[in-house]
Amino acid sequence: MSGIIDLGIWQMLSAYIFVLIVVWIVWSRHIGREKEILISAVRMTIQLIAVGYILAYIFEHANPAYTFAALAVMEIFAVYNAYQRIKVKLNPRLRKIMAVSLVLGTMGSLLFFVLGVVRVKPWYSPQYFIPLGGMIIGNSMTGITLGADRVLDGMRTKKEQVEMALMLGATPKMAAKQIGDNAFETAILPTVNQMMGMGIVFLPGMMTGQILSGTSPLTAIEYQIAIMLGILGSVSLSVILFVIWSYRAFFNERAQLVDE
């Protein structure tokens, strides 16, 4: 199979015609999002070019310190973006639980996947850790955001049910269990739906990129199956850790439901 076609500057610029088409549609229909679309396109371009040069340097100077520094930056931004996506203000305890759950879930899954499944050499290879880490952390960020949003909404809308359960003798963990189960289901559903449509409805990005670069479709499929299972595990682990720990932020030391 031939290698991937290298895109020149004019080929890259020609792709921006799609941005102009969207801007024209938005302008002609008086939607008023032209500036936002243009800024997002420019910002994406600048960010990706900067990341490209950084990754090129890290790949050429493979070092465990560089690899884990890059992963740390990705985790920090993932936690920050998760906070920003929540519609209500999070109390400090819940923010800490959310951050710890995301980091433990993603790093645990990533380390097992790279070292136990792929078994890369050297073990700190940035070529595997960084792109695979990006997919695992990104999907887990979305999952834990959905889970946290559902937990917060459930504790607010089902406050009377929780208090009734407490009065009947339930522990805080038991009283909040149904809310946590609903949050977990909501959080993993996008990943499960994505897996169900993969290969028939659409070809995922990782597999497409490998095929374009000249990799055998069968090899690309093997990696895609493995990484999707890794993503499912990471999302599930991050969310379940949050669900198991988060209820404590809604109760005081006397097992009473509190409003914050």
Q: Is the pLDDT of residue 260 over 70?
A: no
Q: Is the pLDDT of residue 201 over 90?
A: no
Q: Of 98, 105, 115, give the one whose Cα is nearest residue 136.
A: 105
Say if residues 86 and 149 touch (Cβ distance below 8 Å). Answer: yes
Q: Is the pLDDT of residue 1 over 60?
A: no
Amino acid at 73: V
The model's pLDDT over 222-244, given as tens digits with 9 standing for 90+, comes to 888 899 999 999 999 999 999 99
Report the range of poorest mean pLDDT among 52-66, 68-82, 148-162, 194-208. 194-208
E strand or H helix at 186: helix 177-197
Cα separation values, 129 from 40, 103, 221, Å = 27, 15, 19
The model's pLDDT over 6-29, given as tens digits with 9 standing for 90+, comes to 778 888 889 999 999 999 999 999
Please give the pLDDT value at position 259: 65
Amino acid at 72: A
Say if residues 233 and 150 touch (Cβ distance below 8 Å). Answer: no
CA-CA-CA-CA torsion sign (170, 176, 182, 188): negative
**What are the residues whose beta carbons fall under 8 Å from the beta carbon of 71, sequence distance 6 or more?**
107, 110, 129, 130, 133, 137
Determine the average pLDDT of the residues in 145-163: 89
Mean pLDDT of the chain: 88
**What are the residues whose beta carbons fall under 8 Å from the beta carbon of 240, sequence distance 6 or more?**
184
